[in-house]
Amino acid sequence: MEWVANGTVFPHLRVLAKELQTPKTLICPADVDRQVAKTFTLLDDSRVSYFLGVDASATNSNSSLTNHGMHLAGDRNLVLNERSVKPGLLVAPPGSALSWAKKIHNRHGNILFEDGHVEFMNTSRLKRSLQEAGSATNRLAIP
């Protein structure tokens, strides 16, 4: 829980070392500002391209055929109120002015949902997915 409180991402991913086999998968090829950690031991937030949805759960009862649940992870290229989000914990209520930055995917991004599927989406779809998540707030740990 201490990692959630300050929005630290890498410890959550470090525990996946055996499943992922290489930290290379934690860097988006389009994210040219980030470099791959050589080992999971050297992993830190500056070597991660993806935010984590800290309230997402594999057993979230809000998921359905039309509602895929909360955001489990996604591209870090987010903007809130026309300003790039800073690393740390971001609390974004549904209807907030969260959008995609131009850098990385040209005002688009990928979201991994609780039900396991990934969507490449524009800003209007991002906002809609935040509203459909079924939560009063969306807490995202930004690397």
* Residue 48 pLDDT level (bands cut at 50, 70, 90): very high
23 contacts: CB under 8 Å, gap ≥ 6: 17, 36, 37, 38, 39, 40, 42, 43, 47
Domains of the chain: total: 1
Q: Is residue 113 within 8 Å of residue 72, measured between CB atoms?
A: yes
* Residue 55 pLDDT level (bands cut at 50, 70, 90): confident
CA angle 81, 141, 80 (to 5 degrees): 5
pLDDT tens digits along 11-28: 999 988 999 989 999 999
The whole domain housing 11 covers 2-142
